[in-house]
Amino acid sequence: MKCDNTVSAIITGAGSGMGEASARLLHAAGVTTILLDRNLEAVAKVADELGALALSCDVSDEASVESAFASIAKDANNVRVCINCAGVAPAKRMVGRQGMMPLGDFKQVIDINLIGSFNIMRHAASLMSELSPLDEETGERGVIINTASVAAFEGQVGQTAYSASKGGVVAMTLPAARELASLGIRVMTIAPGIIGTPMITAMPDEVQASLASSIPFPKRLGKPHEYAHLVKSIIENPLLNGSVIRLDGAIRMQPK
Ligand SMILES: NC(=O)c1ccc[n+]([C@@H]2O[C@H](COP(=O)([O-])OP(=O)(O)OC[C@H]3O[C@@H](n4cnc5c(N)ncnc54)[C@H](O)[C@@H]3O)[C@@H](O)[C@H]2O)c1
């Protein structure tokens, strides 16, 4: 699929980090971007700069997602791309100094990272299914890109909820791609390593330096635009489907 002014893209978590970088890169390529985030102030700032549509949306809230997609269906045309970047990464031990992790904490991470991604994906797929194929020969209608993490494979202490949520995103990639194949919609997942977004740059400098030194090459935090670059490649390459791509400088997180 071409990544240009013939298509529109929905991006969740577009108020910061990799979602914001994807919005900027796709906008620069001419794509019409629709930016969703639960932080309306942050996403409206990005949207104002790009002249894009910003919508307040909490991906873990069914009614909020419903209402965002009702606006999209009314105001946006030709949505062929959906990028799920909204996510949270709180670290908490199952049994820590303050006792047992409240069950609600675990559920909240699953609600946002896993169920939120699924909910956005089903709405996006439904919207795309109503469009004509871009190309009669291939039948391609659209592409959905989800965001997992290397923690899906090598979760650290304190990441039971986060790893479970991202493992779910990895696991649903192939069945979603198989199911949506008949509609000409591809599904891909990116599993980033350690990327220098506010999720990571909020950590103390020495923690960031230690994380960076554990990456074989390049020995630095990943850059959000490197994620956005992969998003663009996935959009443009029709053979990428049903897979999870690690974007991690060969890091394999070790137990601590
Ligand atoms: N930064 C990393 O090193 C890293 C590594 C692996 C995976 N990831 C994943 O990449 C994705 C993007 O993370 P980032 O690093 O850009 O983080 P970020 O914190 O910079 O951006 C995340 C955005 O998601 C939004 N968000 C959070 N919960 C939401 C909700 N319920 N509904 C709507 N929006 C919500 C936030 O407001 C924020 O704007 C996340 O899913 C994260 O788990 C990040």
162 is known as an active-site residue: yes
**pLDDT digit string (tens) for the chain, length 256 residues:** 999 999 999 999 999 999 999 999 999 999 999 999 999 999 999 999 999 999 999 999 999 999 999 999 998 899 999 999 999 999 999 999 999 999 999 999 999 999 999 999 999 999 999 999 998 899 999 999 999 999 999 999 999 999 999 999 999 999 999 999 999 999 999 999 999 999 999 888 888 888 889 999 999 999 999 999 999 999 999 999 999 999 999 999 888 7
Show the domain range for 134: 8-195+227-237
Show the CA angle centred on residue 77, arms to residues 75 and 83, nearest 5°. 95
CATH of the domain at 117: 3.40.50.720
Neighbour count for residue 32 (Cβ, 10 Å): 20
User: 209 in a domain, yes or no?
Assistant: no
Domain count, the chain: 1
State in Å: Cα 14 to ligand 1 middle.
9
User: 255 in a domain, yes or no?
Assistant: no
User: 31 in a domain, yes or no?
Assistant: yes
Query: CB of 37 closer than 6 A to ligand 1?
Result: yes
Number of the ligand 1 atom closest to the C-alpha atom of 42: 39
Q: What distance in Å separates the CA atoms of residue 231 and residue 216, rounded to the nearest whole number?
A: 23
Closest CA to 59 of 76, 78, 84, 32: 84
Residue tagged active-site, from 81, 151, 162, 241:
162
User: 203 in a domain, yes or no?
Assistant: no
Q: What distance in Å separates the CA atoms of residue 143 and residue 121, rounded to the nearest whole number?
A: 10
User: 71 in a domain, yes or no?
Assistant: yes
Query: CB of 42 closer than 6 A to ligand 1?
Result: yes
